[in-house]
Structure 1
Amino acid sequence: MFRGVAQMEIGPLIKLHRIKQNMTQEDLAAGIVSESYLSKIENQKTDASPEVIALLCERLGIQLNAENEDMIKEKAEEWFALLYDAHSREERDAKYQELEQLFKNSNSDYEILFEIHKIRYYLLRNENEKTKEQIEKLTNLEYSFDTRQSFFWNKYLGNYYQNYEDDNVKALQFYKMAEALIKKIELAETDIADIHYTLAVTHTRLINDLKSIEYANKALDVFRQNYNFVRCAQCHIILGICYRRVHMIDMAIKQYNLAQHLGEITENSEVIQLSNHNLGYLHSTLGESDEAIKYLEKAYEMGSNFTTTQITTTISLIKEYYNSERIDEAKMVLEKNYSLVKELPAHSKKLFKLEMDVYKYAIYQDYNKLEHTIINEFLPYLEEKSDYANIVTYSNMIGEHFEKLKKYKNAANYYKMASLNYQKLLKV
């Protein structure tokens, strides 16, 4: 019999390889079995004879005799771990290539789990099209997933909808399905902590602060016990955001400072940058412009790559310079970074481009373009995304603009929009 692959699990593996090779059922079945019988094999509705399985595998160019199953499992688990903690891209890529070759030469039960983890791998590499293609391929196999496979499948679908579709509601649905499976399988406590952290992030984005605090603390307990200081720092940042929103300012500052301290211990520049950014934003919301600029400048100067964190910091710094009437400094940062927005992934580009456009027109006093961009492009986009916080910010901004021009009726309309959306924000 076929070592390493259970008889009733051969069908999904055959289907997986057929899909990967862009073969139809007709192509694979020709001269071996009928298409309907192949369909039953792939869908685990029959046990085919070893002879039939051998012929199908020969046509696919695969072997189902994983005598080195334990070695494959060990190497696969090592690569899965590299997808979570801070590791170099080169290390992840090298392990990935090694596993790809292993599965070409000797398939095993771990192959489907490996294919599911490719979703996260492509997400980390910002390969949007490959991520979509991988999800489409695996959707055809979803019915055959065991509980462990289903856990990671739902988790990574959540990652996809959160990071590429910007749909946190749908992401939360998948994360909850993954969470519901935790008690049915054996998972490392760090895997459980990671889904709790992911749920904390999602609840934060949906402004469900109490839920976010609950999940962040669950994750923090595990990461602290495992001395994973980078993940601890990430939890502290989430907690800081939540405490700021519920106006527990001292607690928020404490969380950000803890994150910054852990970032310094681990020499993790991303954590330090994010801590400074959030401290800057906190002081900005308190109207403490000098303190806000101090922290935002630190975060801005740390950014070597034009990441999402870096552009968020850049826009926040431009806003603070503009609001403090430090126009020359605002112009300098804007001109240095304006064109770099084009380098961002398409899924995150629109929001940042619109924000950069708004401040460009405001700084250079191009009021016709400012009005058109906020009224006809930005506010409709924010309404579509139910981004109440930014609607409040930019409807107030255009309201103040019209008030300065003594267009009081227009100003009143946008102040009213800000007020209504502030009320919606409080109800979220």
Structure 2
Amino acid sequence: MEYGKVLRFHRVKQGLTQNQLAEGIISPAYLSKIENDQTVPAFEVLELLYERLGLDFHDSSNSHPSKEKLKEWYEAIVFKDKEKARALKDELLQEKETHNNHHLYIYFELFRIRYLLLEDEVEKAYEVWKSLKQHRDTFDEEMEFYYHLVVGLLQYSSGRFEESFQSLMQAKNHSASITLMLMDWEVSDLYYVLGLSTSQASQISASVFYIDQALEIYQSRYDLEKSAECHILQGINYSKLKNYAKSLENYNVARKIALQTNSRKQLNLVYTNIGTLESRLGNRQSAISNYIKSINYFDYDDTRYKKSSLLPTIHGLILEHYRIGDYDGASKWIQKGNEELKYLKSESYYLHFNFYKLLINNDDSLESHLEDILIPYFQQRREYNYIIRYSMVLADLLEKKRMYKKSSEYLRLAIQLLNKHSHLGGILL
């Protein structure tokens, strides 16, 4: 047992200095050596230090029953079983060891970060992470694995995809030394989140590789739901690689699985992404048809899910109706989108919907709206596909006014970004 790490953890947690803990027992310098595992003191000394911290010297958590319950909780979180995760969290909070035992407390807090992300409480998750960082030097290899994994997920939730990938790779490196401690579902989960981060960071070939690794494990477990998620992501990846046949093949596999499992959420996602694919191919009516199918499968009271799926689908319908010259149809979906925004509060989609309203109405403020609000907003968020789209619209408007120099600046911006960021995304769970 790593007594030094345990002592330091509880000393810091209780707000004690080394002088306060060591007083009357040993010197602060000797305590520092113990905490840094530079010496092994007599058991009598350890017992006195533990007693001062209110700890049981003979307690061991490595095979503690609560550790098994923690892992059960973590599994429920990973598989997004919110009801079970909430129940187990409440049970763990009632157990004294969860708060007082060094190992159990660290694991609880690490897993709680991911639980809070599942509950869409991102700010609270960051607070837990900031508090947990002070105990980093007490972590063992297994804790380091989970730490880098949840940090990667935190970064992903904030749109910092490259940083997310780097953190997840550190988790992967730590996993090599704790292979026997990890369940197969944890390995597949690591590959899946690596696939997510690399897909969003435009490292598409890497994403295809990681998702294939995850899919192999999910299929061996006959986990149909997770397998469908993998096929949806692979559909997005192959679409980005412009291998549209392979993309559609993966979407159709995901659709078959979702029909088999009666997963309305996955059917919703499949049809949304097929609609996006058909849009890229210029098949307007097919895109609209698939977007409508997607909406017909949408019946979830989940704010985060609505923001990530319903609003993009409505946006797609507005765009496709506008492209075929059906301005009444586009206006109908703008109205529907604005009704949803009363409850969902998304500045991005408010700007998207308002843009098409101004465009359809030939509003005189459209040019300044693009130049002063829309393009700077998406530049700040690094959403390159929208910077490209709106820059090209602005360039066209400026050209019609014979403002050729300014028009060429925005056209050049769009072309530069097209060359650098040629991939367009999809919609994920």
Shift of 1:217: 0.8
Distance 2:177 2:389 in 1: 45
Partner of 1:425: 421
Distance 1:331 1:56 in 2: 67
Question: 3-state SS of the aligned residue for 1:335?
Answer: helix
Number of aligned residue pairs: give it: 411
Partner of 2:383: 387
Deviations 1:292-320 (A, max 9, x none): 00111121233333231222222222222
Partner of 2:203: 208
1:166-185 map, 5 Å: 166-185=159-178
Partner of 1:232: 227
Shift of 1:208: 1.7
Shift of 1:393: 1.6
1:317-332 map, 5 Å: 317-332=317-332
- The answer for unaligned runs of 5 or more in structure 1 is none
1:129-168 map, 5 Å: 129-163=123-157, 165-168=158-161
1:253-332 map, 5 Å: 253-304=248-299, 305=301, 306-332=306-332
CA change 1:55–1:244 in 2 (3 A) is same
Does structure 2 conserve the Cα–Cα contact (< 8 Å) formed by 1:220 and 1:235? yes
CA change 1:327–1:64 in 2 (3 A) is farther
Partner of 2:367: 371
CA change 1:81–1:122 in 2 (3 A) is same
CA change 1:404–1:217 in 2 (3 A) is same
Q: Alignment partner for residue 52 of structure 2, among 52, 55, 73?
A: 55
For 1:155, give the aligned amino acid: L
Shift of 1:67: 8.3
Partner of 1:126: 120
Deviations 1:209-243 (A, max 9, x none): 21111111111111111111111111111211121
Greater mean deviation of Cα atoms: 273-282 or 121-130: 121-130
CA change 1:403–1:290 in 2 (3 A) is farther
CA change 1:258–1:27 in 2 (3 A) is farther
Distance 2:190 2:6 in 1: 30
CA change 1:388–1:24 in 2 (3 A) is same
**TM-score computed with the length of structure 2 as normaliser:** 0.85
For 2:352, give the aligned amino acid: E
Deviations 1:245-264 (A, max 9, x none): 22221111110111111122
Shift of 1:36: 7.4
Distance 1:64 1:222 in 2: 40
Shift of 1:405: 5.3
- The answer for unaligned runs of 5 or more in structure 2 is 425-429
Does structure 2 conserve the Cα–Cα contact (< 8 Å) formed by 1:230 and 1:262? yes
Question: 3-state SS of the aligned residue for 1:49?
Answer: helix
Shift of 1:7: 2.5
Shift of 1:204: 1.2
Distance 1:39 1:8 in 2: 9
Partner of 1:222: 217
Seq. identity, %: 25
Question: 3-state SS of the aligned residue for 1:423?
Answer: helix
**TM-score computed with the length of structure 1 as normaliser:** 0.86
For 2:318, give the aligned amino acid: I
Deviations 1:67-115 (A, max 9, x none): 895421221111010011141x232111001111213576363331121
Shift of 1:388: 2.9
Question: 3-state SS of the aligned residue for 2:53?
Answer: helix
Shift of 1:279: 0.2
